[in-house]
Structure 1
Amino acid sequence: MSRVETAGTGAALRMPRSPGLLRNEIGTTFRRWRTLALLGVLAAVPVLIGVAVRIETGGESGGPGASGGAAFVSQVTNNGLFLVFTSLAATLPVFLPLAVGVIAGDCVAGEASAGTLRYLLVAPAGRTKLLLVKYATTVAFCLVGTLVVAASALVAGVLLFPVGEVTLLSGTTVPFGEGLLRALAVAGVVACSLVGFAAIGLFVSTLTNSGIAAMAATVGLLIMVQILDAIPQLHAIQPYLFPHYWLSFADVLRDPVYWDQLQKNLGLQALYAAVFGSAAWARFTARDVTS
């Protein structure tokens, strides 16, 4: 075999085929120690919350709450399923988006920093498909991270507290099975709430060749927007900030479900995904890749 043929064979072995690009990218991402560490931290948060509530209350049932996160905490001792809602409410503003920011910020810039981006672009998929694969992988992490929190909270809740019929925030009591379905729906809403921020991280990742810089910029932007969303004087712009409706998932736990805030949240996330996804595509397809 000639040297040219040998080089061609080696390149073929290194380059993932187009149909398997997404599978290869997801597998690579979820095998990294950094990703596993992030998922480990997310899994630990519900356990810590459950243990703290157990120690604080001594396992005694609390009274009913009014709404939102306070209602979730007060109901945990009555029903361990509420630890799922409490944990998602605690992780969504900080822990989950921070983890997503790390994955999204590193998805393109990390490849450039490692010198592997230009080799990926040799594959027949091209820049557009590669970018879509990177974004799909980040969205997959949003879903997996959310499910890890929910599953860890469910296990801890069942072990630490009684379970049974679920009293919704509107006062309606539903069977435990329906409560589980609502918990799954809540997890789905939380995962969808992160897709807009994931697109922002993807765009930032196309602006630099430094994975660390992209991750820091993405996380810094998250903190800045969270601060803006907490300032009362800025109420006029807050409905347009991506985290403004994040906690609207609580409306899934009402009977009937309140759709207004949920629709605004999902619509806003779709808008951010479209705008920043398009910006990332425009930047990446015109970028001179040298590493």
Structure 2
Amino acid sequence: MSRAEAPGAPARRGPGPLWSVGLLRSELVTTLRRWRTLALLAVLAAVPVLVGIAVRIETRGGPGADGGGGEGPAFMAQITNNGLFLVFTALAATLPFFLPMAVGVVAGDSIAGEAGAGTLRYLLVAPAGRTRLLLVKYATVLAFCLLATLVVAVSALAVGALLFPLGDLTTISGTSITFAEGLGRALLIALVVAASLVGVAALGLFVSTLTNSGIAAMATTVGLLITVQILDQIPQLHAVRPYLFPHYWLSFADLVRDPVYWDDLVRNLGLQALYAAVFGSAAWARFTTKDISV
């Protein structure tokens, strides 16, 4: 493996910024070359295709259902009028499970996978320190958050353009905006969705520092994700739900309002920053004191 060469090349570069850039590039390439990562991206790209085909078949079979509401699946009623709505629908469909699961798998494997393969100690031979290595690992997971979200958005945009008309966008507030502005909002929504995953990324990184088994770390992260999602659906926990990281995930729908409703969006981003700070600090405290013997 390419990791076997780690004891030599990075050590000669020294602990400066160039070493960090080189390590980050190496981590990104290594992550994207894994068959597991490619399979996750393929599944994410397939979701908009399946949704688009299903809506197209339903449209041919008879009149579509009337739209309603303004969040998540309610976008589906507008897809036949404007293919750009497929972007919003696909992100709403993948955000509750598929996107965070993919991020949880990559984050959970970030440290534990290296430890299990026996390559973590080789990475630490380079004079960069554990803190910098942990930051590079987290930056790699964040880059995957953005890439995974863009894969869903681009796939949805391509399928929407092929199967449905494009043009001026009617917001869920009933006003009309140009197609260019609609594209801008779609990009902003993709960025917000990617930012909504930083809490899961930090949680997965922390779990990854607790074990030397990549599979155990991935399973634990995904298990915690499912558990928190279930807790967020229990009405009796209404006092706790606003503090659970998935609670405001679908607030990105407010970006399709005119004017945009920012309150829940700000709460979501603030909550993700809090989770990133708490679990990032916990990961740093654990990793910098961890006995690495493999």
Q: TM-score, normalised by structure 1?
A: 0.94
CA contact (8 A) 1:71 1:169 kept: no
Q: Provide the rounded CA distance (Å) in 1 between the counterparts of 2:52 and 2:286.
A: 44
CA contact (8 A) 2:6 2:123 kept: no
- Flag the 1:87–1:285 CA change in 2: closer, same or farther, 3 A: same
CA contact (8 A) 1:226 1:243 kept: yes
Moved more, 104-113 or 61-70: 61-70
Q: Provide the rounded CA distance (Å) in 2 between the counterparts of 1:63 and 1:184.
A: 26
CA contact (8 A) 1:54 1:160 kept: yes
Superposed displacement of residue 70, structure 1: 3.7
| Structure 1 partner of 2:172 | 169
Q: Provide the rounded CA distance (Å) in 2 between the counterparts of 1:66 and 1:247.
A: 13
CA contact (8 A) 1:16 1:24 kept: no
| Structure 2 partner of 1:246 | 249
Superposed displacement of residue 184, structure 1: 0.2
| Structure 1 partner of 2:149 | 146
Match of 2:182 among 179, 182, 190: 179
- Flag the 1:46–1:16 CA change in 2: closer, same or farther, 3 A: farther
* Corresponding letter in the other structure for 1:40: A
| Structure 1 partner of 2:121 | 118
Q: Provide the rounded CA distance (Å) in 2 between the counterparts of 1:184 and 1:10.
A: 37
* Corresponding letter in the other structure for 1:101: G
* Corresponding letter in the other structure for 2:9: L
Q: Provide the rounded CA distance (Å) in 2 between the counterparts of 1:281 and 1:13.
A: 25
* Corresponding letter in the other structure for 2:224: L
Superposed displacement of residue 170, structure 1: 0.7
Superposed displacement of residue 68, structure 1: 1.0
| Structure 2 partner of 1:201 | 204
CA contact (8 A) 1:193 1:266 kept: yes
| Structure 1 partner of 2:16 | none
CA contact (8 A) 1:100 1:142 kept: yes
| Structure 2 partner of 1:4 | none
Q: Does 1:219 align with 2:222?
A: yes
CA contact (8 A) 1:245 1:261 kept: yes
CA contact (8 A) 1:165 1:175 kept: yes
* Corresponding letter in the other structure for 1:95: F
| Structure 2 partner of 1:101 | 104
- Flag the 1:21–1:169 CA change in 2: closer, same or farther, 3 A: same
Amino-acid identity (%): 73
Superposed displacement of residue 24, structure 1: 1.0
Q: Provide the rounded CA distance (Å) in 2 between the counterparts of 1:224 and 1:249.
A: 23
Give the gaps of 5 or more residues in structure 1: 1-8
Give the gaps of 5 or more residues in structure 2: 14-18
Superposed displacement of residue 124, structure 1: 1.4
Q: Provide the rounded CA distance (Å) in 1 between the counterparts of 2:290 and 2:100.
A: 27
| Structure 2 partner of 1:5 | none
Give the aligned length. Answer: 283
Q: Provide the rounded CA distance (Å) in 2 between the counterparts of 1:129 and 1:83.
A: 39
Superposed displacement of residue 67, structure 1: 1.2
| Structure 2 partner of 1:3 | none
| Structure 2 partner of 1:47 | 49
| Structure 2 partner of 1:6 | none
| Structure 1 partner of 2:23 | 21
Q: Provide the rounded CA distance (Å) in 2 between the counterparts of 1:62 and 1:271.
A: 40
Moved more, 69-78 or 100-109: 69-78
| Structure 2 partner of 1:258 | 261
